[in-house]
Amino acid sequence: MAIPSTPVPGAATSATERLHALDAVRAGALLLGVVLHTTLSFLEPRTWVVGDVSTSPVMNGTYFVIHVFRMTLFFLIAGFFARLVLHRRGTGGFVRNRAVRILAPLVIFWPLVMASTVVAIIIAANLAGEEVPGATPMTPSTFPLTHLWFLYWLLVLYVLALAVRAVVNLLDADGTRRSRLVDPIVRTVVARDLTPLVVGAPLCVAFLLKQDWLLWYGVPPAENGLIPNPVALVAYGCAFGFGWLLQRQVDVIRVWERRYPRNLVAAVVLTGVALAMVGLTPDTEPEALGWHKVVYAVVYTLAVWAWTMGLIGAAMRYLSRPNPSIRYVADASYWVYVVHLPLVMALQAAVSQVALPWFVKFPAILLVTYPVTLLSYRYLVRYTFIGALLNGRRRRRDEKPATEAAVPQAAAR
């Protein structure tokens, strides 16, 4: 498929290779979710249904850093690939493809994940000698989407994107205005390192407008409620929209490839400053509007986008070439993320009262979770209808291969 792009002088890497890099980053964002959720039982103070007898500020710091950038990174790439799939398949094909890849997994796996999560909560409470938490009434504002909330949000963003696109097409039927106005603006924003300021500004404002914003937790959680919370909608909606615009001229992100070292250094420094401002132990009380809150919102927003640009740039530099191992992990990452949480919770519960330090139990949980989920993908999912649902059909090595598509199938998720 021909991918619309504006060439950059000296660009040597093909558009297809760029997709390998972005798909690897998307997979990394999903797999980091396993690490993030594993830290939860070791945080202090306790915020998770499973509380371990061994906690550590190191786990707090790990959670903080990952949470800064993970979902912004994911949704930017989701927006990029959404536009790619739309222009590859047309509106009808896009809707059908997203219904299969996103809506169907949400409908199928949510009841299973919810039921197994409830079982894990009951087991954890019994092992710790605690009272089993009561059920929360399901309302539009409390509906437990669990960690599959990102699928629901993708569907919401797809609907919004199609609606905006329909209006834009009415105003700019031949695309001339977009090519002459929007594309140069995006190129300038990226080339002059204005992305954190321009794309991040709405998030910074949203932070400050939220009176009950808990600074330490950054973008508020989105796993509960069918109505997206405003701050998260701004954060992830802007990322999705910018990813959509970047796909109009793929080679623009080559700028991030060249500048990834300084962006990653900036990300580390800004994250360190943000963490120094709020400490390793989260404050569970909102802070009144003042200079501290304003400066923190600015620093945190800049960190979000420095990580996003730096990690995408590094991937473009080192992961652009096809690699069977990375491709396999990228294919598996969707399944791993969908099914990991009940297993992680069960393992957290199993070790929560064991008199071992966190630095033994934390990696042990990961060393069980990753192999189990990856192997289950290999033997129970990859070549079955479930694998076809999540990633498209995969052929075994002894089967006659189909014609290679120009775009990696995993990327089209």
pLDDT in tens, 124-169: 888 888 888 777 788 888 899 999 999 999 999 999 999 999 999 9
In the chain, the amino acid numbered 120 is A
Structure tokens at 324: 């069977």
Mean pLDDT computed over every residue of the chain? 90
Note whether residue 51 is domain-resident: yes
Which single residue is written with the structure tokens 């775009």? Answer: 407
What's the angle, vertex CA 186, arms to CA 72 and CA 253, rounded to 5?
65
Mean pLDDT of 29-46: 97
Domain that holds residue 126: 15-412
Q: 241: pLDDT confidence band, cut at 50, 70 and 90? A: very high
User: Between 230-246 and 183-191, two packed helices, what is the crossing angle to 10 degrees?
Assistant: 100
Note whether residue 337 is domain-resident: yes
Per-residue model confidence (pLDDT) at position 16:
57
pLDDT at 407 over 80: no
Pairwise CA distance, residues 319 & 18, whole Å:
8
Note whether residue 68 is domain-resident: yes
Q: 268: pLDDT confidence band, cut at 50, 70 and 90? A: very high
How much of the chain, in percent, has pLDDT values that exceed 70? 92
Torsions phi, psi for 113 (to 5 deg): -65, -40
Note whether residue 6 is domain-resident: no
Asked whether the CA dihedral 286, 291, 296, 297 is positive or negative, the reply is positive
What's the angle, vertex CA 265, arms to CA 283 and CA 28, rounded to 5?
75
What SS3 state is found at 224?
A: strand
pLDDT in tens, 305-314: 999 999 999 9
Note whether residue 9 is domain-resident: no
Note whether residue 4 is domain-resident: no
Note whether residue 10 is domain-resident: no
pLDDT at 226 over 60: yes
pLDDT in tens, 73-114: 999 999 999 999 999 999 999 999 999 999 999 999 999 999
Structure tokens at 136: 């929360």
Pairwise CA distance, residues 100 & 74, whole Å:
20
Mean pLDDT of 394-403: 58
Mean pLDDT of 344-373: 96
Which single residue is written with the structure tokens 């695309």? Answer: 175
Could you tell me if 121 and 342 are in contact, meaning their C-beta atoms sit under 8 angstroms apart? no
350: left (phi over 0), alpha (psi -120 to 50) or beta: alpha
Cite the beta strand spans of 146-254 per DSSP E. Answer: none
**How many separate domains does the chain show?**
1
What SS3 state is found at 138?
A: coil
Note whether residue 7 is domain-resident: no
Residues 6 or more apart in contact with residue 40 via CB below 8 angstroms: 47, 48, 50, 63, 348
Could you tell me if 30 and 334 are in contact, meaning their C-beta atoms sit under 8 angstroms apart? yes
pTM: 0.91
